[in-house]
Amino acid sequence: MSFFIASSPHVRVKRNTSNIMMWVAICLLPGIAVQSYFFGYGVLIQLIFAILLAWTFEALIMVIRKKSPLLALKDNSALVTAMLLAVSIPPLSPWWVITIGLFFAIVIGKHLYGGLGQNLFNPAMVAYVVLLISFPVQMTSWVTPEVLSGVHLHFDDSIKLFLTGFNSDGLSLQQVRAGIDGVTMATPLDTFKTSIRAGHTASEIMQQSTFTGLAGVGWQWVNLAYLLGGIVLMKLRIVQWQIPAAMLASLLVISTLTTLFAPGTTASPVLHLLSGATMLGAFFIATDPVTASTTTKGRLIYGAFIGVVVFLIRSWGGFPDGVAFAILLANMSVPLIDYYTKPRTYGHLR
């Protein structure tokens, strides 16, 4: 037997970046499957297109930077970014929406700062906010879940709407949505906020067919599926429990208090927890190891901050779902949070 001498550190790392990112992608699959079931083929069409486009942008920018494109593609970070952005925007948005978004995510949000590990903000959320501000109509054009509308968009219609903006009958996405719904509604959160501003009470709003069940047809099951994937990530110790726990707990507490002291004016805790991008943001976006807080106390503060900002934007802001904005604001606060929560050096008295 040979005795090999190696320099420190001697701690063996079982998972590398590629492995971690692949597990994140795998744990996204339950949520993607449920989302596809309720919102049709558009989810899968957009997802496949986004992955191929993200790999293309990643390879091109690495060639421009005179680095190996294969090494960058193997870390699976572009794959995860594409998946997160693809499931965050309406599935039948025109192809150019996801194209512009991925350009900002990969080129601006990631490589402009130096590449993987150097970015200050979550690339997928940078892209989402850019798209939401620039193209609000396309970014709020969610179709009604198929189980509620009773209308099934076939694959050929879905891909034509995605590529050309029109289906086989020459109808645009807005016309298709109006034909299905009678009204072009967005998500349950948007419907709730619009109805509150129109003078309806929370109890009246929850009687609408959109809110059948816990927190909106389709959306509650999508969130529960992402919750399942997030639990697997925590079980594998790929993400720490502090951030999702603090985010969900703060959102639960503040929404409960508001419901108790101002009943009928704000959404219920269940609606907040199981609608929009709550679970996707808590387990798959806020926990990004590059842009999140790195200390134990800091993660709790970071997660709680996101939950509070999400509630404030949803209740009184100009957008129906504030997860992306809350995470970007928290990313900006990470240096300050880490500075004041860094652990004391062993043996240091002050």
Instruction: Summarize the confidence of residues 8-24 as an average pLDDT.
Output: 73
pLDDT at 97: 94
pLDDT at 201: 72
Instruction: Summarize the confidence of residues 145-168 as an average pLDDT.
Output: 74
Report which of residues 294 and 154 the model is more confident about: 294
pLDDT band at 238 (very low <50, low <70, confident <90, very high): very high
C-beta contacts of 158-163 below 8 A and 24+ residues apart: 158/40, 158/41, 158/42, 158/45, 158/92, 159/41, 159/45, 161/42, 161/92, 162/42, 162/45, 162/46, 162/49, 162/92, 162/93, 162/94, 162/95, 163/95
Question: Using an 8 Å Cβ cutoff, are 54 and 106 in contact?
Answer: yes
- Weakest-pLDDT range from 100-109, 150-159, 326-335: 150-159
Instruction: Summarize the confidence of residues 58-71 as an average pLDDT.
Output: 88
- Weakest-pLDDT range from 12-21, 45-54, 234-243: 12-21
pLDDT at 16: 80
What is the 3-class SS of 122-169, one letter each residue? CHHHHHHHHHHHHCHHHHCCCCCCHHHHCCCCCHHHHHHHHHHCECCC
What does the domain layout of the chain look like in residue ranges? 17-143+146-183
pLDDT at 7 over 60: no
pLDDT band at 184 (very low <50, low <70, confident <90, very high): very low
CA distance 299 to 286: 10
pLDDT at 182 over 70: no
pLDDT band at 23 (very low <50, low <70, confident <90, very high): very high
pLDDT at 88 over 60: yes
pLDDT at 90 over 80: yes
pLDDT at 321: 84
pLDDT at 204 over 60: yes
- Weakest-pLDDT range from 168-177, 265-274, 294-303, 339-348: 168-177
Give the dihedral of Cα atoms 187, 152, 229, 335; nearest 10 deg: -40
pLDDT at 183: 44
Question: Using an 8 Å Cβ cutoff, are 235 and 294 in contact?
Answer: no
pLDDT at 347: 59
Whether the predicted model's global pTM rises above the 0.75 cut = yes
Question: Using an 8 Å Cβ cutoff, are 32 and 87 in contact?
Answer: yes
Q: What angle do CA 45, 49, 51 make, to 5 degrees?
A: 120
- DSSP string across 245-264: HHHHHHHHHHHHHHHHHSTT
Write the DSSP symbol of residue 12.
P
pLDDT at 172 over 80: no
Cis? peptide before 123, omega within 30° of 0? no
pLDDT at 217: 76
Instruction: Summarize the confidence of residues 170-174 as an average pLDDT.
Output: 70
Report which of residues 100 and 141 the model is more confident about: 100
pLDDT at 49 over 90: yes
pLDDT at 241 over 50: yes
Instruction: Summarize the confidence of residues 276-304 as an average pLDDT.
Output: 93
CA distance 171 to 245: 44
Q: Comparing C-alpha atoms, which of 6, 103, 8, 23 is closest to residue 289?
A: 23
CA distance 88 to 327: 14
pLDDT at 140 over 90: no
Q: Comparing C-alpha atoms, which of 171, 195, 191 is closest to residue 92?
A: 171
Instruction: Summarize the confidence of residues 206-228 as an average pLDDT.
Output: 81
pLDDT band at 18 (very low <50, low <70, confident <90, very high): confident
Q: Count of alpha carbons within 13 Å of 290, Cβ hemisphere only?
A: 20
Question: Using an 8 Å Cβ cutoff, are 174 and 141 in contact?
Answer: yes
